[in-house]
Amino acid sequence: MPAPVFDLSYTRLPQVLYTPYQPTPAPAAIMILHNNALAKNLGIDTKWLSSGAALKFFSGQTPPDAYTPLAMAYAGHQFGGFSPRLGDGRAVLIGENVAPNNIRHDIHLKGSGRTSYSRGGDGKAALRAVLKEYIFSESLAALGIPTTRSLAAITTGETIMRQKPHPGAILVRTARSHIRVGTFQYARLCQDETVLKTLADYSIDRLFPEINAPNPYTELLSQVIEKQAKLIAQWMSFGFIHGVMNTDNMAISGETIDFGPCAFMEGFAPNRVFSSIDHHGRYAWNKQPEMAYWNLTRFAESLLPLLHADEDKAVEIAQERLAKFSEIFTAHYNHLMLAKIGLSPDMDGAPQTLSAAMSMLAAHEIDFTLFFRRLTDIAGGESEEGFLELFPQETGVKTWLKTWQKLRASKDYDPDIALAKMQTLNPVYIPRFSQLETALEAAEQGDMDAFNQLLAVLTAPFNEQKQYAELVIPAPDTDAHARTFCET
């Protein structure tokens, strides 16, 4: 059982960007989940991962010998208000693993105790929050959406107070990097261009080594803009709502990070909000592109000293790059959404057919996932009955279906290629609110069966499993009273 050889290259950055920190040892640690598939991808021995040595390492009982773990510093705009000093208040970067493909990944603990950035918090995590991030991150990964991942979940033997007492836990998560837009905002606040430049150089070397341009920082901005535009398009194409798109929750790697008040929309409403604290709909489903652009503007502002010595010229360069966000997002989103209904942008009438479908969905709050999946079933030769029963009578859905079928009968249309694409974009299973809540409640009582069942189907979301037919159907009026919380 060879132990992984972890490194910590982040410590080679200026120390103003982090604080050395040893995780608080968990008093009675038990590993309740470990992700063997992810471990294999990372080159981590699965026997080691399930061993007592791994449990002690991830629960803070055996600190690394060669380096000291750290809590990362960052700033952030939270619901539009700027906080100059946030940072890892309940997390620690415990190491970095270089995978067989030579890609470096952070090994990060959440719920490992109070740090200098905790701002009065306890630094701990409740089991339900850990399990929620575990299942959402693995669900997004299975859907093909860039995301942080979950390597293990550990109960600590503690009781954590939130709205009520909860079992304590630690999440072991991985990412290409935990560098955020807020990290660059913090570096800019240092008023030392060396700090900002060093962070940018490190980010390029680690995340964008292909950059080879006269001004690499301009290209860094372009790369981050493109990755975020495509990420938001993917979120929206699956009905995912992040819920708290603050600048400290946007990773420059283009990975989904931090799963607090997030959810997959069930009944389709473009302005759907699940967060209990988003009273004005800032981070609604249809506001996510706007908010990503807003966050990226803050990122560009942080980079201005590196873009050009003349500030006016730097602003011009930033605006030029930011202007491309809408084009990239729109093209990617339209491509994904048309592919979900088996059409393509170059087909006459396809965009109008998609627009009509979205209007129909919104008018009747039709289940987003079921609509696209049952349309996929029709494309695969099944009857229209299951699709039509999603709609109330006299909605015009039959007319829409005839238009869609007519487009699919076009001369150059290849139904097999279109179906294959639909089957990779329209899942059978998503983390449905009521199902997940039931599983989390049971898990906190010590029964992991429902959670493990959900995890099994969500990590193979495109494969229908007849024995789990009940997990396909939403509970009545779920979205009407669904609320999610940060749980920090």
Active site residues: 248
Rounded alpha-carbon distances, angstroms, from residue 213 to 217, 222, 307, 308 = 9, 12, 12, 14
Nearest to 248 by CA among 72, 484, 23: 72
Report how far apart, in Å, the C-alpha atoms of 232 and of each of 138, 167, 242, 250 are: 17, 33, 9, 11
DSSP string, 215-279: SHHHHHHHHHHHHHHHHHHHHHHTTEE-S---GGG-BTTS-B---SS-EE-SB--TT---BTT-T
**Token pair listed for 419:** 């179906």
List, in sequence order, every residue forming a beta bridge with 83; answer none if it has no partner.
76
Question: At what angle are helices 216-237 and 193-207 packed, to 10 degrees?
Answer: 60
Angle at 125 between CA 124 and CA 130, to 5 degrees: 155
* Helix (H/G/I), strand (E/B), else coil: 336: helix
Fill in the DSSP letter of residue 7.
B
- Do the Cβ atoms of 79 and 94 come closer than 8 Å? no
